[in-house]
Amino acid sequence: MKLEWRRVSLPLKDPFTIARGTLHHQQCLIVILTQDGVSGFGEVTCNNYYGHTYESLEAALNLVRDAIAEQPLMHPRELYKVCQAVIPTDRFALSAIDGAAYDLYGKTQGIRTTEILGLNTAAETRSSYTLGIDSIEEMIRKYRDQPDWPVYKIKLGTPHDLEIVQALRAVTEATIRVDANCAWTVEQTITNSRALRELGVEFIEQPLPADASPAAQREVFEQSALPVIADESCRTEEDVARCEGLFHGINVKLCKCGGLTPASRMLQQARALGMKTMVGCMIESTVGISAAAQLLPLLDYADFDGANLLAEDVARGVRIHNGEVEFSNVYGNGIELLI
Ligand SMILES: [Mg+2]
C-alpha cells in the first residue's frame, strides 16, 4: 500500500475559543492510503495542547511509510499492529493512518466501516453543536445561527461561566452540556455543578486539569451534582480503567487514542465498566468526522460538529445536519475527497 499526505489549512466560520486559546484556521493533514487504484482517507489535526505540529506528524508518517509500502491490503486491525510497531507513541499520526485503512478496506470489500467493526448500524444518538467561548451576546448569536440542534455543548472556563449558561438557557430548551477544558478547581466544580443542575445541564466535561490528583478527581466524582466526563484525562486505552470510580463516562477522540481500532475497544471497555460513552472531535473536516461517526452505535453521547464549524470543507462523507448523523452511500468511512 502507498501512504501519502497533504497539508491543509481549514478556515473556520467564526474564531473558536476554549479555555486555552483561540483558533482562526485549523491545520490538518489529510492522509491517503492507496492500493490498486483505490484510496482511503484519514485526517489528523495539528494540536498545541498535545504537542503535534505538521513537522512532528510528518516525521512520524515518514517513519512508517516504508513499512506500509511492503504490506498488501489487510484488515485495518492488522495494519494497526504493523504501524504501532514502528511509531508506538505517535497516536495522532496512527489515528490518521487507521482512519484511511478502514476507509480503504471498506471501499475494496464493499462494506461500511461500522460493519468492519462488527457494529449494528441502527444508532439513534444525535450529535451536539459546540458554542466556543465568546461574549454572551456573540454566544447567543452563534446559537441563533444554528438553532435546530437537539444538544449544545458550551465551552466554559471564564470568570462568568454561570451567566453564560443562564443566558443560553433563557433562549433554548435544548439539552445543554458544558466543557470546562480543565479550567476549574474542585470547589468551583462542586459549586458550579449545583447551579448547572438547576439550569438543566446534562453533564460536565473535564472540569479539573488532566493532572489533577486521584483524590481531587474522586472528591468531584462523589460530590458533583452532575455526571463528570473525562476528556483530557482519558487519552489512551490504559486510561479507561483508571477513570473508573473517578468519572461517570469518557470522551474518546480518535487522535488522542490512535484511531478507530483502539477507540472501539475503549468504548466497549467503558460500557463493560458501567461508564457512559462519548466520542468527540477536534475542529476537523468531513474526513475525520466520517471516521469518528462509524462508532455511533457504541455511543451514549456524540460530538461530531467539527466540520460544521468550518467555512470550507475538503470532502463529502458523513454529514451532520442539526444533530442527525447522515451516513454516505459510499463504502468504508464514506469519504470522497474534494481537493
Ligand atoms: Mg472536551
Collapsing DSSP to helix, strand or coil, 209 comes out as: coil
The letter for the amino acid at 26 is Q
Find the domain containing 250 and state its range: 120-332
Residue in this structure with the C-alpha cell 505538521, named with its chain if needed: 54
Cβ pair 204, 224 in contact under 8 A: yes
pLDDT of residue 152: 98
- 203 assigned to some structural domain: yes
| 152-194: pLDDT as tens digits | 999 999 999 999 999 999 999 999 999 999 999 999 999 999 9
Binding residues: 179, 205, 231
Q: Which of 107, 153, 253, 256 is catalytic?
A: 253
**Residues 233 and 92 occupy one common structural domain:** no
Residues 157 and 273 in one domain: yes
Q: Are 113 and 106 in contact (CB under 8 A)?
A: yes
Report the distance separating Cα 101 and Cα 119, nearest Å.
17
Identify the pLDDT of residue 337: 98
How much is the pLDDT for 11? 97
The Cα 303–Cα 330 span in angstroms is 22
Helix, strand and coil content of the chain, in percent to the nearest 5, comes to 40, 25, 35
Residue 163 CB: number of other CB atoms within 10 A?
11
Whether residues 111 and 125 share a domain: the answer is no
The H or E element containing residue 203 is: strand 201-205
Residues 134, 39 within the same domain: no
239 CA distance to ligand 1 middle (Å):
16
Cell numbers found for residue 192: 458550579
User: Does one domain contain both 78 and 154?
Assistant: no
Question: CB-side exposure of 188: number of CA atoms within 13 Å?
Answer: 17
Residue 136 counted as domain residue = yes
Q: In this predicted structure, what is the pLDDT of residue 123?
A: 84
Residue pLDDT, tens place only, 126-162: 999 999 999 999 999 999 999 999 999 999 999 999 9
Confirm whether 338 is domain-assigned.
Answer: no
101 and 201 within one domain: no
Catalytic-residue membership of 142: no
Q: Say if 303 falls within a structural domain.
A: yes
Q: Is 253 one of the catalytic residues?
A: yes
Q: How far is the CA of 231 from the centre of ligand 1 (A)?
A: 5
| Domain at 32, CATH number | 3.30.390.10
Decide which of 115, 134, 165 is a domain's last residue.
Answer: 115
Q: Which of 75, 95, 115 is the last residue of a domain?
A: 115
Matching residue, cell 470532502: 315
In tens, the pLDDT along 248-300 reads: 999 999 999 999 999 999 999 999 999 999 999 999 999 999 999 999 999 99
CA–centroid distance, 182 to ligand 1, in Å, is 9
Whether 207 and 316 share a structural domain = yes
Tell me the H-state helices in 15-155: 54-69, 76-86, 91-109, 113-116, 136-145
Residues making up the annotated binding site for Mg(2+) are: 179, 205, 231
What is the domain count for the chain?
2
Q: How far is CA 150 from CA 105, 205, 301, in A?
A: 33, 18, 12
99/238 same-domain check: no
Interval between CA 68 and ligand 1 midpoint (Å): 32
90 residue type, one letter: D
Both 191 and 321 in one domain: the answer is yes
Report how far ligand 1's centroid is from the alpha carbon of 91 (Å): 18
- Asked which of 115, 131, 151 is the last residue of a domain, the reply is 115
Let me know if residue 143 belongs to a domain.
yes
The model's pTM: 0.96
Half-sphere exposure in the Cβ direction for 103 (13 Å, CA)? 35
**159, 274: one domain:** yes
Burial of 75 (0-12, 13-18, 19+ CB in 10 A): middle
Task: Select which of 142, 153, 155, 256 is catalytic.
Answer: 155
CATH code for position 258: 3.20.20.120
pLDDT, one tens digit per residue, over 1-27 is: 999 999 999 999 999 998 888 999 999
Q: Are residues 143 and 66 part of one domain?
A: no
Burial of 121 (0-12, 13-18, 19+ CB in 10 A): exposed
